[in-house]
Structure 1
Amino acid sequence: MQPLVRKGLLWQWMLSICFVLAFASCNDKDPYDPYANFDAAAQAKLDDELIQSYLKTNGITDTVKTASGLYYKVIEAGDGARPVLGNKIKVHYIGKFIQNSVIFESTYASPPHEPQTFVLDTRLIKGWTEGIPMMRKGEKARLWIPSHLAYGLLGNGKIPGNTPIMFEIYLLDIL
Structure 2
Amino acid sequence: MHKLLIILFSILLFQGCKSPEARQPLQQNSGTFIDASIERNKKLVEAEEAQIAAIMTSNPAQQYITSDNGFWYFYKTKDTIGGASPQFGDRIQFTYDVSDLDGNMIISEKENGIQEYYVDQTNQELITGIRQGLKLMKEGEKVTFLFPSHKAYGYYGIIDKIGANIPVKSTVTLKLIDKTQ
Normalised by the size of structure 2, how large is the TM-score? 0.69
Counterpart residue number, 2:8:
none
C-alpha contact 1:74 1:139 (8 A) present in aligned 2: yes
Counterpart residue number, 2:171:
168
Aligned partner letter, 1:63: Y
Equivalent in 147, 151, 154 of residue 153 of structure 2: 151
1:138 aligns with 2:140: yes
Q: How much has 1:27 moved relative to structure 2?
A: 4.8
- Residue by residue over 1:9-64, the C-alpha shift from the partner in whole angstroms, topping out at 9 and shown as x without a partner, is xxxxxxxxxx6x934x535367xx9x973522211111111111222334453111
- Residue by residue over 1:92-136, the C-alpha shift from the partner in whole angstroms, topping out at 9 and shown as x without a partner, is 2221111x211111223x3xx842222333642221122111111
Q: Runs of 5+ in structure 2 lacking a partner?
A: 1-23
C-alpha contact 1:94 1:107 (8 A) present in aligned 2: yes
C-alpha contact 1:127 1:145 (8 A) present in aligned 2: yes
Aligned partner letter, 2:130: W
C-alpha contact 2:88 2:119 (8 A) present in aligned 1: yes
Q: Distance in 2 between matches of 1:114 and 1:26?
A: 48
Aligned partner letter, 1:145: F
Counterpart residue number, 1:22:
26
Closer, same or farther in 2 for the Cα pair 1:135/1:89, shift >3 Å? Answer: same
Q: How much has 1:144 moved relative to structure 2?
A: 0.5
Equivalent in 104, 107, 122 of residue 106 of structure 2: 104
- More deviation in 150-159 or 161-170? 150-159
Kindly name which structure, 1 or 2, has the bigger radius of gyration based on alpha carbons.
2
SS for the counterpart of 2:135 is: helix
1:81 aligns with 2:84: yes
C-alpha contact 2:69 2:132 (8 A) present in aligned 1: no
How many positions carry a matched residue from both structures? 149
C-alpha contact 2:92 2:177 (8 A) present in aligned 1: yes
Closer, same or farther in 2 for the Cα pair 1:129/1:60, shift >3 Å? Answer: farther
